[in-house]
Structure 1
Amino acid sequence: MNYHKRKFRAVINTANCEISSETVFEYIQEGSVLSAQYQGGQVVKGHISGLVDDQGYIEMHYHQVNQKGEVSKGMCYSRPEILSNGKIRLHEAWKWASGDISEGSSILDEI
């Protein structure tokens, strides 16, 4: 699976998440290496670095700056699902590595 130049937006999040439907992720993939920039809503600017396996699963680390001027970071595992319209949905399980060190989940849909 290739995520190169695909854009995603969150559709479901747990309460401890700073991303929202206003946050847009823009992915770049070179081989198995994935990177992304994201912003919108509570997130002023965020970056992702990670790896994609043969089934399209993603293991990544993220860091971001929020509207309060706080820098936070964490790690995330994403499982892809191909929707009936051919677009990708990402089921994400993540954990903050800063702040309260809580865990959460999100669903992102390709836009």
Structure 2
Amino acid sequence: MARPLEGVVFAPVADQAPGQVGRETRFTYREEAGRIWAEYAGGDVVRGFLVGTRTGDVLDFRYVQLRPDGTTASGHCTSAVTELPDGRLRLEESWEWESGPGAGTSTVEEVPRA
């Protein structure tokens, strides 16, 4: 199993569609006893939160976010946690909006600590 997510900061490797997370978005994860949560912001996301569970190297969570125009969006995501050759973590995500149409995949990687 890949190392714990506690305090790990992730960033997307590519931009998504407008109004969604992008390369400027930063996710700060927390983990305790199989429970995960994170706060995120940046780019087209004013503020976002996610909460869910981790079983082995699989995350299952719901997310909600506030956009610059004042609208909100929510959805469901499952992610596979892997470790990169340099020791950083990667999340391969499959997500779907629950507040509207749309689904897809994305990849976020751990931001190296300064």
Same fold (TM over 0.5): yes
Q: Normalization by structure 2: what TM-score?
A: 0.90
1:16–1:102 CA contact under 8 A, matched in 2 = no
User: Partners in 1 of 2:52 and 2:59 — Cα distance?
Assistant: 7
What's the counterpart of residue 48 of structure 1? 50
Distance 1:94 1:17, change over 3 A: farther
Structure 2 residue 85 is the aligned partner of structure 1 residue 105:
no
What's the counterpart of residue 96 of structure 1? 97
Q: Structure 1: 5+ residue runs without aligned partners?
A: none
SS at match of 2:13: strand
Distance 1:105 1:22, change over 3 A: same
SS at match of 1:12: coil
> Identity, % of aligned pairs?
31
Bigger relative CO (Cα 8 Å, ≥ 6 apart): 1
Using the TM superposition, give the Cα deviation of residue 15 of structure 1 relative to its aligned residue in structure 2, in angstroms: 3.3
**Deviation string for 1:29-67 (max 9, x for gaps)?**
11100000000000000000010012x210000000011
User: Partners in 2 of 1:104 and 1:95 — Cα distance?
Assistant: 6
What's the counterpart of residue 4 of structure 1? 6
What's the counterpart of residue 71 of structure 1? 72
Structure 2 residue 86 is the aligned partner of structure 1 residue 85:
yes
Letter matched to residue 99 of structure 2? S
Q: Normalization by structure 1: what TM-score?
A: 0.92
Q: CA RMSD in A?
A: 1.3
User: Partners in 2 of 1:47 and 1:65 — Cα distance?
Assistant: 9
